[in-house]
Chains A and B, each alone.
Chain A
Amino acid sequence: MAFVTANWNPLGEAFYRKIELYEMGWNLKDGLRECLVAAAPYGGPISLLKGHNRRSPSDRPQLEIYSSSGLPLASFPWKSGVVKQLGWTVSDDLLCVQEDGTVLVYDLLGGFKRHFSMGNEVSQSQVLETKIFHSPYGTGVAILTGALRFTLATNIDDIKLRRLPEVPGLQGAPSCWAVLTQDRQSKVLVANGSHLFILDNTACTPVTPPGLSPQASSIVHMCVSFSYKYLALLTDSGHVWMGTSNLKEKLSEVDTKIKTPPKQMAWYGTLLLFPSAVVMWDGLLIVVGECKETIQYHLDDDSILVPELDGVRIISGTHHELLQEVPGACEEIFKIASMAPGALLLEAHKEYEKESQKADEYLREIKEQSLLSEAVRQCVEAAGHEHEPETQKTLLRAASFGKCFLSNFPPEQFVSMCRDLRVLNAVRDYTVGIPLTHTQFKQMTVQVLIDRLVYRKLYPLAIEICRYLKTPEYQGVSRVLKHWACYKVQQKEESDEVIAKAVSVKLADAAGISYSEIATKAYESGRTELAIKLLEFEPRSGEQVPLLLKMKKSPLALSKAIESGDTDLVYTVVMYLKNELNRGDFFMMLRNQPVALSLYKQFCKHQEQDTLKDLFNQDDDHEELGNLYVKASYKDQRLEARIALLQSAVDEYYKAKNEFSAKVKTSDSPVTVTFFSSIQKSFLPQTFDQKCTLLFMIKTKNHNKYCCLSHRDMEGAAEAAIERRNESEISTVLSRCSATTDHLLMERLNRAKATAVKK
């Protein structure tokens, strides 16, 4: 196993190793020369824009997107403006910042998603330089304009542009700058010559890094670590200053002895014991750490550096390599002449395979120091950090061998490592091209990894991984299937039926699928019919309703809301309809949905009494109208109004043909009596007023007359009118009489009228 250490280089107390990840699958004529390149961290995709400075319409630049292994994902000619910078968001979207400050967002497969502008000021003075950065709030864009001002957006999904204050004494472009995230705020660190400034929202503060060597007259390059904790500055004298990003502490200063400005500088991961930085010139790569020495690598080709959590990836025209500090466990095991328990265990297992008795000797040695569990732990951990499946296997076998001699050793670590490695090896595969280390994988979580696979439309692999890791269906398989379906419904060439069927068949067994989300996607891509079909599968009615309303399928939305049993949802739809439809249609729709209608009635009872009356009127619900009048009558303060309202109530009850209308003609009409009693009860105890009673009597009599009239009981009506000797009333009755049938009656009425007039 000696070859394991062949690519190790010591630096101070640590070792560094360079592992080849892939031989690039792309075929680039000129390598990475003359290209704008952006590679996403966590083994993300790589985008290339060749000839981005070309402006002639006949010879457009070509935008290409590759996986980390160099397999093409997308390629298209660039038709928009001049691109200043490419970058990736945390959710694997490509950002292209143009000269005029417009930012175009593409997905990983080259599909255009949206664009946004960085503001007028930027578009007027043009973009000079730009940087794309990641913070806990998402992906941000920082721009240095031609007017030498900085404009910043911390989260591109929620754009709030901030224009930072001016940098004093800045004449031309600053020698270098970087974005920091400190105290939940994004700041810009600018170097102008040897002066350093920190720009935040309000102020520009000059700062000096402690212990920066005095020979330097200018800072030519700077970079910030992955976690914004450390800062490295490169001066024109070739010194690399390393310290914390708050500029309070210096870690070290190393002389590289190279005075030409570098191409790129990057931090190693900050999870490691010895923070270190990498500086790249043409054909040369230098690793600087805490001690004075450096490691130098020669590069054959133009390369770019991609800082990672626990290392730096080096992408060149032909190769893709990972430069990292050798993790502790690996170092312990593989270091030459190591006597660490893990190393001994590995040796023991090797001997055991050879069927040699030495295995026992080694094993005894570990057991005597009672370090066997430590040895197993080391082997398992080291397996996680190894890239080659063969090495992983050897280490895991050794661990499993050691486990046999331990009782009560918790198996979780071993089991989960085996699982993790299987997943990692699968995604590291050339065809997938996501070269994650175990540390990165743990940091980004399975959820995010699944998302990344989904973005790449690697649905089957994502599902396999979910199943293998036994992710709860809800978060795993179902989620992937949902994404698949969302993608499926956007395929224009297939018919609604075919897609709906395909989706339902595939998703049938999956639990917790949100069909409404899929339907929303379908609706957004203009397939309303398909959306409705898909909504049918949605078990949660509550989810269906908002989309149905959006699609203007209000009757369906209403019935779905009712189906859900959630009255609040029904109310929501009803209120929406009330605003959308005219009153007639609205009432009609409610009429077909009794549940909604009765809920609306409840609403009206408390909020809109008049609407309630209209509703009852429309339904000819005289009974309820009557009740309504009775209620209203008790609310009214004025006696006349009360009586009038009670009168209307009687009319309504009468129309409702309930028992009262039948009895209304008889002399001891319950209505009369109850009216009387009720009026008496409500008024008389307080104000016994003769007039009031009289008024009441007249009214009821009057009522009798009207009843008779409408019942064509002319005689009764005449009787009542004559008895009251009221001229106008007699005339009313007269006008209703027909000359042929009521001859006698007319005579009588005329006589009575004459006497009434005389009086």
Chain B
Amino acid sequence: MASHLFCGRVNLNILREAARKDLREFLDKCSGSKAIVWDEYLTGPFGLIAQYSLLKEHEVEKMFTLKAGRIPSAAVKNIVFFVRPRLELMDIIAENVASEDKLQPRDVHILFVPRRSLLCEQRLKEKGVLNSFTNIDEYILDLIPYDGDLLSMESESSFRECYLENDQTSLYHAAKGLMNLQALYGTIPQIFGKGECARHVANMMLRMKREFAGSQTQILPVFDTLLLLDRNVDLLTPLATQLTYEGLIDEIFGITNGYVKLPPEKFAQKKQGEGGKELPTEPKKLQLNSAEELYAEIRDKNFNAVGAALSKKAKIISAAFEERHNAKTVGEIKQFVSQLPHMQAARSSLANHTSIAELIKDITTSEDFFDSLTVEQEFMTGVDTDKVSTYIEDCIAQKDPLIKILRLVCMQSVCNNGLKQKVLDYYKKEILQTYGYKHILTLKNLEKVGLLKPQSTMRNNYPTIRKTLKLWMEDANEQNPNDISYVYSGYAPLSVRLTQVLARPGWRSIEEVLKMLPGPHFEERQQVPTGLHKKRQPGENRTTLVFFLGGVTYAEIAALRFLSNMEDSGTEYIIAATKLINGTSWIKSLMDSPEENLP
């Protein structure tokens, strides 16, 4: 059921099982049949922990979405609210509870995810419904296992909250999540970090460790190092268009909670023999994780190398099917038949990915895509970053999607360490005039987080950073990569370079560059109880947990996986993030466009 979690270096299924156990325990607390009322946002993350079948085993008979008004009728003994601790949700719950049928009282429970909140309870009290709840509990769901080497908090607005609104709730949850992780996988002896938020999280972790002193579990540490990275240390990477297979799927179709929705047309003809059937109108939903053998193989490849991989796979599969002609004896045939299910699964997986690849190819071969990629690469290599880009001008004039414009403008600003006032004003004016004055708020937000800024008197240090960290590799090999720069066909993500340098030769070698990047860098050590010091076998790799505060892109994950698999790297990486992001979803989370309320 969760086979994708076993495959990595660290068995993340322990975490999933712990989460499932807690869930079961809570459900059993409310004895009898129950209906769950979901905060819609939570259904995705919960899907990564437990399927409906688990809920069903524990007498969950109905599921509703949290809405104002009455709860739809259901003959159940318990109503359970699964909600985030948000005040606006409390108001809805209060309304729900107040309109419950007084004659047939049902037990009402509330489960806060990821943490209960006094503020919300206070609100429920004010509304006079706090006493109606039989159970008020919390379900600690911080780090959700997403794949064999990937943990996500699935906290959408974390970057916005931390950098724009100065609300560090998600950092608190991150620290708590890391403490939980350490309870299951042992104390992490070394903590490195870069950035304000990283510092904050590390401080909280050290503080919590002191708080829990005396109740520690004795577990041999699984992780050797924790690296905390602020997203705002590397603003550039998410802005660039990802060029790995998975990255492109995310850029084009968007992956949410491990699922992607694809246009149905391509997948329609797949069912041969039912020719007369209508085209499906529902988008096709696919789960993407490393449980699928083929996907695990190609997800992190540069898209230009995916075609070759797919055709190779196709050959292998058809060869495997050809085997049947060679099968002469009954025994051989039996062996062949026993492999059939596996082969058929492989074939359908191949068919799916061929279709996806076709869909992506349609876009990547378009002129538009090529032009904008060229401009991105120009910015990243530092060409003409101090002038108004004619390409951006054209795009605005053609009223291309605003997010695309913002991505490019922000990228130019980041690569130039701020734009000249005149250039900045020009862009802003153009954007406001074309897309509407309401976007002034978005622009202000982008300025606040540092994605857009006027050039200060300081020298543009981006070229220095680029050169020292080798962020641009001219000869990126897309087919058989030898460097992480293949994920962006030339650009090596800054965040991953920092990780790479940390492992070897260490940050001391790039002290100067680190100083240019925002926020402090630091190193902390946590005492590991004697007797639990890991004795490393010769040739055994170190395990590093890299935590991206503010989100991580699929291309960065691909780059880290590439580093793990490099023969002489000596380090394997497990990745954690507040959320999996791409440039579009990221910029979107920072936008503030008031709803128009037309007369």
Which residues does A use to contact B, with CB under 8 Å? 472-474, 478, 510-512, 539-541, 563-569, 571-572, 575, 594-595, 598-599, 601-603, 606-607, 623, 627, 630-631, 634-639, 659, 670, 673-675, 677-678, 681-683, 686-687
Is the Cβ of A512 less than 8 Å from the Cβ of B214? yes
Q: How many A-B residue pairs have CB under 8 A?
A: 122
List B contacts of A595 (CB < 8 A). 166, 168
List A contacts of B200 (CB < 8 A). 565
B433 contacts the other chain (CB 8 A): yes
Of B280-288, B367-375, B437-445, the one with at least 4 CB within 8 A of chain A: B437-445
Is the Cβ of A639 less than 8 Å from the Cβ of B437? no
Is the Cβ of A594 less than 8 Å from the Cβ of B597? no
A165 to B189, CA, bound (A): 67
CB < 8 Å neighbour of B119 from A474, A571, A673:
A571
Nearest A-chain residue to B424, judged by Cβ: A659
Is the Cβ of A638 less than 8 Å from the Cβ of B599? yes
List residues 147-206 of chain B with CB under 8 A from any CB of chain A: 165-169, 171-172, 175, 200, 203-204
Is the Cβ of B204 less than 8 Å from the Cβ of A630? no
Nearest A-chain residue to B118, judged by Cβ: A572
A683 to B597, CA, bound (A): 11
B207 contacts the other chain (CB 8 A): yes
CB < 8 Å neighbour of B211 from A539, A567, A634, A673:
A539
Give me 11 A-to-B residue pairs in the complex whose CB atoms sit less than 8 angstroms apart, sorted by A's number.
A511-B213, A512-B213, A540-B211, A565-B168, A565-B203, A567-B167, A571-B118, A572-B122, A634-B594, A659-B425, A682-B598
Is the Cβ of B429 less than 8 Å from the Cβ of A670? yes
Nearest A-chain residue to B445, judged by Cβ: A627
Knowing A674-B433, A675-B437, the reply to whether A634 touches B597 (Cβ < 8 A) is: yes
B interface, over-half SS: helix
B278 contacts the other chain (CB 8 A): no
Nearest B-chain residue to A603, judged by Cβ: B87
Most chain B beta carbons < 10 A, residue from A473, A540, A565, A568: A565
Is the Cβ of B204 less than 8 Å from the Cβ of A565? yes
List A contacts of B169 (CB < 8 A). 567-568
List residues 235-277 of chain B with CB under 8 A from any CB of chain A: none
List B contacts of A512 (CB < 8 A). 212-215
Min CB gap A363→B, angstroms = 40
6 other contacts beyond A512-B212, A565-B200, A677-B433, with CB at 8 A cut-off?
A: A472-B215, A564-B204, A565-B207, A568-B117, A659-B425, A678-B437
B521 contacts the other chain (CB 8 A): no
CB < 8 Å neighbour of A568 from B115, B175, B595:
B115
Interface size class of B (residues with CB under 8 A): 35 or more
Is the Cβ of A686 less than 8 Å from the Cβ of B598? yes
Is the Cβ of B165 less than 8 Å from the Cβ of A630? no
A472 to B599, CA, bound (A): 69
Is the Cβ of A598 less than 8 Å from the Cβ of B598? no
Is the Cβ of A565 less than 8 Å from the Cβ of B85? no
List B contacts of A623 (CB < 8 A). 444
Is the Cβ of B594 less than 8 Å from the Cβ of A565? no
Is the Cβ of A678 less than 8 Å from the Cβ of B211? no
List B contacts of A565 (CB < 8 A). 168, 171-172, 175, 200, 203-204, 207
Knowing A599-B167, A677-B436, the reply to whether A474 touches B215 (Cβ < 8 A) is: yes
List residues 565-599 of chain B with CB under 8 A from any CB of chain A: 592, 594-599
List A contacts of B166 (CB < 8 A). 594-595, 598-599
List B contacts of A659 (CB < 8 A). 421, 425
Is the Cβ of B594 less than 8 Å from the Cβ of A598? no
A603 to B165, CA, bound (A): 11
A567 to B114, CA, bound (A): 13
Nearest A-chain residue to B85, judged by Cβ: A568
Nearest A-chain residue to B175, judged by Cβ: A565
The 5 lowest CB-CB distance pairs between A and B, nearest first, are: A511-B214, A678-B437, A512-B214, A598-B166, A634-B594
List B contacts of A636 (CB < 8 A). 597
Knowing A540-B211, A565-B172, A567-B167, the reply to whether A575 touches B441 (Cβ < 8 A) is: no
Min CB gap A189→B, angstroms = 34
B432 contacts the other chain (CB 8 A): yes
B102 contacts the other chain (CB 8 A): no
Most chain B beta carbons < 10 A, residue from A512, A541, A674: A674
Min CB gap A519→B, angstroms = 16
Knowing A539-B213, A634-B596, the reply to whether A566 touches B172 (Cβ < 8 A) is: yes
List A contacts of B165 (CB < 8 A). 598, 601-602
Min CB gap B201→A, angstroms = 9
A interface, over-half SS: helix
B394 contacts the other chain (CB 8 A): no
Min CB gap B85→A, angstroms = 7
A602 to B161, CA, bound (A): 9
Is the Cβ of A682 less than 8 Å from the Cβ of B596? yes
B88 contacts the other chain (CB 8 A): yes
Most chain A beta carbons < 10 A, residue from B85, B167, B437: B437
List B contacts of A568 (CB < 8 A). 85, 115, 117-119, 169
List B contacts of A635 (CB < 8 A). 594-595, 597
Which residues does B use to contact A, with CB under 8 Å? 85, 87-88, 115, 117-119, 122, 165-169, 171-172, 175, 200, 203-204, 207, 210-215, 421, 425, 429, 432-433, 436-438, 440-441, 444, 592, 594-599
A414 to B12, CA, bound (A): 41
Is the Cβ of B599 less than 8 Å from the Cβ of A637? yes
Most chain A beta carbons < 10 A, residue from B88, B167, B421: B167
Nearest B-chain residue to A511, judged by Cβ: B214
List B contacts of A511 (CB < 8 A). 213-215
List B contacts of A510 (CB < 8 A). 214
Knowing A565-B172, A607-B87, the reply to whether A673 touches B433 (Cβ < 8 A) is: yes
Is the Cβ of A677 less than 8 Å from the Cβ of B432? yes
Nearest A-chain residue to B122, judged by Cβ: A575
Is the Cβ of A474 less than 8 Å from the Cβ of B214? yes
Knowing A567-B167, A568-B118, A598-B166, the reply to whether A627 touches B444 (Cβ < 8 A) is: yes
Knowing A630-B441, A659-B425, the reply to whether A473 touches B595 (Cβ < 8 A) is: no
A512 to B440, CA, bound (A): 52
Is the Cβ of A674 less than 8 Å from the Cβ of B437? yes
Knowing A565-B200, A631-B594, the reply to whether A682 touches B436 (Cβ < 8 A) is: yes
CB < 8 Å neighbour of A634 from B204, B421, B429, B595:
B595
Nearest A-chain residue to B119, judged by Cβ: A571
A598 to B167, CA, bound (A): 7
CB < 8 Å neighbour of B168 from A473, A567, A601, A675:
A567
A607 to B175, CA, bound (A): 28
Min CB gap A380→B, angstroms = 30
CB < 8 Å neighbour of A539 from B119, B207, B215, B441:
B207
List A contacts of B85 (CB < 8 A). 568
A412 to B278, CA, bound (A): 73
Knowing A565-B172, A631-B594, A635-B594, the reply to whether A674 touches B599 (Cβ < 8 A) is: no
A565 to B199, CA, bound (A): 12
List B contacts of A478 (CB < 8 A). 214
List B contacts of A563 (CB < 8 A). 207
Min CB gap A637→B, angstroms = 5
Min CB gap B9→A, angstroms = 30
Nearest A-chain residue to B593, judged by Cβ: A634
Is the Cβ of A678 less than 8 Å from the Cβ of B204? no
List A contacts of B167 (CB < 8 A). 567, 598-599, 602
A75 to B203, CA, bound (A): 53
Min CB gap B228→A, angstroms = 14
A256 to B75, CA, bound (A): 63
CB < 8 Å neighbour of A678 from B119, B172, B432:
B432
Nearest B-chain residue to A541, judged by Cβ: B207
Knowing A569-B118, A659-B425, the reply to whether A637 touches B210 (Cβ < 8 A) is: no
List A contacts of B171 (CB < 8 A). 565
Knowing A567-B169, A568-B119, A637-B597, the reply to whether A678 touches B425 (Cβ < 8 A) is: no
List B contacts of A566 (CB < 8 A). 172
Is the Cβ of A678 less than 8 Å from the Cβ of B441? no
A603 to B215, CA, bound (A): 35
A607 to B88, CA, bound (A): 8
List A contacts of B429 (CB < 8 A). 670, 673-674
